[in-house]
Chain A
Amino acid sequence: MFRRRLLSAVVIGACVMLAATTRAQTTTKKTTERYAVLVAAHDGGPGLPKLRYAARDAQRLQDVLVDVGGFADNDILTLVDGDAAAMRDLLDDLRARVAGSKARGDDVVVVVYYSGHASEGRLHLGTTRFEMRELRQRLDALGADVRLAFVDSCGAGAITREKGATLAAPFVITADQAGGVGATGQVIIASSSADEVSQESDEIQGSFFTHHLTTGLRGDADRDHDGVVTLDEAYAYAYGRTVAATSATRSGAQHPTYAFDLQGAGDVVLSRPGGADVVEFPGELEGRYFVVDLDRQLFVAEVDKQKGGTSQIALPRGQYAIKKRLDSHLLMTRVQARSKGRIVVDDDTMQSVAFADDYAKGSPLGLKQIDDAVRFSFALGAVVTGVADPTGYDDGGLFPTTAGPQLRLRWNNLLRHRIALDLDASVGVARAVRTIDGGPALGITHLDVNVVATQMGASALWLNPILDGAVDVGIGPRVVGVLFTHRFVGDSKPVGLDGQSYVSFNPGVVGVVSWHFASWAHLELDARAHYLPYTVDQLRHLVSLEGMVSVWVDL
C-alpha cells in the first residue's frame, strides 16, 4: 500500500562512506572513525498517518553501513520513535564521540539519517518538533571532517534549499586536493524537494528513496565497476530510480535534492561492495531480480537488470534467495554469502517455482514495480444479465436474461491505493416472449419481443492481491444506468405500439477475481448484484444479477 511520508528521512550522514572518504587517498596515516545517527519516527503527530517502514528503512541503512560502509555496529546510534529531546541527546552523544576521535587525531566521518514525517522545515518526532535549521547547525558544529546527512521525508528539500539545493540531475563531485580524509565538508541529501511528498510502498516495504539508496550502495550503483560506490554514483542511482518509481504514483514524481560544501580530492566513497560477498548479474540477464534475506525474511535489494551491462550487489554473511518473476512462475535460487566471494546469477540454473511455493516471502513479487502507481487497463468481455423478481410479477418476458459484449476501463489506485475506478458499457440482447395475463375476460396473450439492455456503470473496486499477486480479489460498490428496450416482432403486436422502454439507475455490489496470466494482461471473472426498482404501475423490488468474463490489457 502506498503511503505518504511526510518527512521521512533526513539523513544526514550518509551512508556510508565511511570507509574511505575519498577515493583519491592522501598519504596520511590517520585513522578514519565513522559514526552514524539513525533516527526513525513513525508517528508524526495528530492528523498525520503513521508510517509503516521508517524503522525498517533505518535498519536497512544500518545493515548497509555495517556490511559495506565500514561502520562498526557500536558506532551507530539509533533512535526509533523518540522525541526531539532524545534526538538532541543522541546528537550530543555523537558530538562527544567525534570530539574524542578528533582529540586522538583521527579523521571522522559522520552520517545522520532521518526517516519520518516533516513539514515547514521541522522534523516530526511524535508530538515534538526538531528544526531542520538546528540540525544543520549541529552538523556544522560537530567538527567531523565529512558530514553526510540524509533526510527521507516529505518536503525534505527544505533542508537543502537553504544552501541552494539543486532540483536537477545528479552531480559529480570534484573536490580540490586537500589533506586529511581527502574531501572534507558537508553533504546533505534530501529524498524530495521542498514541496514534494516522499512515499512509502508496501511492495518494497520501505520508502522509495531509502530503498534505492541502499540497493545502490550494495553495488548496483557502481557504474564503473571499480568496486566502490561514490557519493555521485549513489546519488545518481537513487535519484534516477526514485524519480522513475514515483513518476506513476498518485502523488507524483519525487525528486531527491542535495546541497554540498566539500573541499578535497576526488569523489566521496560511500561503500565498498567489492569487499564483501558480491552477487553478480551478468550482462546477458534481463529483468527484475529480488534479493531476500532468508534468515530474517527481509527484502534486501531489487536489481532492475538491463541487458548488456553487469550489475552487482554486496551481501553480508547469510542465506539469501534470489528470485525472478516470470508470467507463470518464479525462478529462484538460494545463495550463501560468506566473505569476499562472488556469486554469479544464472537464469538457467535457477529453479522453477510455482507462485504458491515461494519460500522467500519477504520480497515484493507484485506484477507492478510500483504498487501504488495509477495504472490504466481496459478490457473486452462478455456479460450475462438476469433479473430475479421475488414478487413474481415478471415471468421472464419483461426482464429476460440477456447476453452481450462489454467494454471496460479501469484506473487502478486512482481513488486510493488498491481502490480502482471502473467504467463499463455493455449491450445485452435476447429474444423473449411477453406473456400478458388479461385475466378471465381477456385470457393469456403471448407477444414476441426483441430485448436490448444497454447499460453504463461505474464502480469502485477494492483490489487485494493473493497468491503472491498472481490473483487479485476485489469487491466494491457499483451504480449502473440501464435502458431496457423491447421491440415487438412477429404478426401480433400490441395496439399502436412497436416497442417499450424502461430506464433505471441501480445501486449494487460487484466482486471480482483476476488471474494475471501475463505481466500485461489478466483474465477476470466478475459477479454483480443490483437493486432494480421497477416503478411502473407500482414499486416492485427486483434484483439484477450479472456474471461476466473479460480479458484485460494492463498498460
Chain B
Amino acid sequence: MNRVFVAASLPGLSGMRFTTAAVVVVAALTAACGDLSQEDLLFRAGVPGKAALAVAPPGIEDEVAAELDDETAAQALTSSSSSSSQGLDEECGDGQLLCLARNLARGFNGATFFLLDLVDAISALPPTVREPGRRVWGPHYEARTNRSHRFEMVRTAEGFTFCLHAATGDVAISDATNAIGCGDDTGDTVDDEADVGGGRLLLIFSGTFAPSAIAGDAARFGVGSMHLEMGRLARFDRGPVQARAADFVFDNTGGGTIIDIDLRGTRINGEQRDGRYHYDRSTLGDGSLEFEAYDELVQPQPPLFGEQQLERVSIFADWNADRAGRASGVVDGGNARQAYELQECWDGALNTVYTRGIFGGETGDEAQCVDVDADAAE
C-alpha cells in the first residue's frame, strides 16, 4: 500500500514557506492509497499453491487434504512450524513399502507446505515495494522467533520468479528493500545472501512459476520449479533435515501433478547420498512414486558384534484410481551383502494382500496384486 505522509501540522503552516505549504496542501489533497491494481491480481497467483505440490500416495490423501484446507498461513509468521510438519511418521514393518512412501511424502509435504504457508502469510501483508512487474514484502520481523523475512516476486516473460530470504534479528526495511532480491525479470539472478540492515539475509526459498490461470480453480496450479535451501531452513529451526538443498520441478498442466525432486548434500551415516525422486498423480487418482529411502533393514553379521548400518531401499510404487497398487523395492548397501528384492501389494482398502520380505518370505497371494499398467491401459 502506498502511503503519503503529510508532515506538517496546522500551527506550523504559518511559519512555512509558501512553496512548502503549497506542496503540503497539494499532497494532502491528492493523497491516495489502495490495492486496486490490475497487476496485484496477477501477483496473487504468482506462487504455486500447496495443492500443486502435494505428494499424496495412497493412504494419506485425507491427511493431505486436511492440511491443504488448514488455515495456517496466517500463523506461519508466528510459528516455527506449520501443521504440515506435525504429521507423524508411521512405524513401518518389514516389507511395508507403501508405509515408507507415505512417510517420505509427509517429509516433502512438511517442508514445502511450511514454506508456502510462510510465503502466503507474508504476501498477505501490504507490499513494501509496489512497482510495475515487481513486489517486495518486508523484511518483516517476528520477535518471537527473532527472525526477519523478505519475500519478492518479479514478473517474467513466462510467469513469475520469487525468492524468500531470512535473517536472524531485525533487518531494517529501508536498508534491505533493494539490496537483495530475485534479480531481473530473467529470473536467474537470485541473490544468495547479503549483509544488510543489521542482519545477514540468506536465501531459503526461490523458484519460478507459470500459473495455468490467475483466477478460479486453476489458479496456483501450473508449471514451475523451486529451490529449497533445506540446510539453512534447518539451521533456523526446521529440525534435523539432512539434505542441504532440494530442487523441485513440477507440472500441473495435465490436471494432475508431476514432481521431480533432487536432494543434494544429503549425508547418511557420514556419506553423501544425493537422491532423485519422482511423483506422478493423475486427476483420476492413479499415480506412482519413485524414491529412495534408508532404513535399518538388515542385521549386521554377526548380529551381536557388527555395526548396524542403514540400507538403501530403492522403491517404485504405483497405484490405480481405486488406490490399489503395488510397490517393489531393492535393498542394498549397509549391512546387505547382496541386493534383496521386496514387494508389497495392497487392495483398494489399503489392506496388504501380498508381501515378499527381504529374505524371500512371502505373505498373502501374489495373484491378488493389481496390474496397474493394465488398469491404466484400460
Please report A residues at the B interface, Cβ cutoff 8 Å.
393, 398, 434-442, 445, 447, 479, 484, 486, 491-497, 500-507, 531-538
A537 and B39 in contact, given A441-B210, A445-B214 (Cβ under 8 angstroms): yes
Whether A536 pairs with B36 at a CB distance below 8 angstroms is yes
State how many angstroms separate the Cβ of B68 from the closest Cβ of chain A.
13
Cβ-defined contact, B41 with A505, below 8 A? no
Distance between Cα atoms of A59 and B32 in the complex (Å): 59
- The answer to whether B32 touches A479, judged by C-beta atoms less than 8 angstroms apart, is no
Q: What is the CA–CA distance of A445 and B31 in the complex, to the nearest angstrom? A: 30
**A534 and B32 contact, Cβ closer than 8 Å, known pairs A447-B215, A492-B215:** yes
* A495→B215 contact, CB < 8 A: yes
Asked if B34 and A531 sit within 8 Å, CB to CB, the answer is no
Contacts of B200 in A (CB 8 A): none
Question: Is B86 interfacial (CB 8 A cutoff)?
Answer: no
Question: What residues of chain A lie closer than 8 Å to B93, measured between beta carbons?
Answer: none
With A398-B36, A534-B32, A536-B35 known as contacts, the answer to whether A496 contacts B124 (CB < 8 A) is: yes
| 8 Å CB interface, B147-183 against A | 155-159
Nearest CB on B from A256, distance (A) = 40
User: In the complex, are the beta carbons of B36 and A494 less than 8 A apart?
Assistant: no
Chain B residue numbers with a CB within 8 Å of A434 are 38, 41
Interface bits B31-62 vs A (CB < 8 Å: 1, else 0):
11111111111101100010000000000000
Any A CB within 8 A of the CB of B207 = no
Mask for B182-217, Cβ within 8 A of A = 1, else 0? 000000000000000000000000000011011110
Asked if B28 contacts A505 (CB within 8 A), the reply is yes
How far, in whole Å, are A479 and B130 apart by their CA atoms in the complex? Answer: 27
User: Measured between alpha carbons, how far is A17 from B98 in the docked complex, in Å?
Assistant: 123
Choose among B38, B44, B132, B210 the residue that contacts A496 (Cβ–Cβ < 8 A).
Answer: B44
**Cross-chain contact A502 with B158 (CB below 8 angstroms):** no
Pull 10 A–B residue pairs with CB atoms less than 8 Å apart, ordered by A.
A441-B210, A484-B36, A495-B215, A496-B44, A497-B44, A500-B35, A503-B34, A505-B28, A535-B2, A536-B2
How many Å from the CB of A447 to the closest CB on chain B?
6
What CA separation (Å) do A349 and B311 show in the bound complex? 122
**Contact status of A503 and B30, CB under 8 A, knowing A441-B210, A494-B214, A537-B131:** no
Interface size class of B (residues with CB under 8 A): 35 or more
Query: Which one of B45, B157, B210 lies within 8 Å of A495 (CB-CB)?
Result: B45
Closest to A534 in B: B32
Known: A438-B42, A495-B45, A536-B40. A505 touches B215 (CB 8 A): no
Q: A496-B44, A535-B2 are in contact. List 17 more A-B contacts (CB 8 A).
A: A436-B215, A438-B42, A439-B155, A441-B158, A442-B42, A494-B41, A494-B214, A495-B214, A495-B220, A502-B32, A505-B30, A534-B32, A535-B32, A536-B34, A536-B37, A536-B40, A536-B130
Known contacts A436-B214, A536-B40, A504 near B30 by CB under 8 Å = yes
Q: Which residue of chain A has its CB nearest to the CB of B34?
A: A502
| Separation of A445 and B42 alpha carbons in the complex (Å) | 10
Q: Give the contacting residue for B214; candidates A393, A442, A538; CB below 8 A.
A: A442
* Chain B window 107-139, contacts with chain A (Cβ cutoff 8 Å), 1 for yes, 0 for no: 000000000000010001000001110000000
Interface residue? B249 (CB, 8 A): no
For A535, list chain B residues within 8 Å (CB).
2, 4, 32-34
Q: Are A436 and B31 in contact (CB under 8 A)?
A: no
Min CB gap A274→B, angstroms: 63
For the complex, what is the distance from the CA of A491 to the CA of B218, rounded to whole Å?
A: 12
Which of A442, A445, A531, A532 lies in contact with B159, CB distance below 8 A? Answer: A442
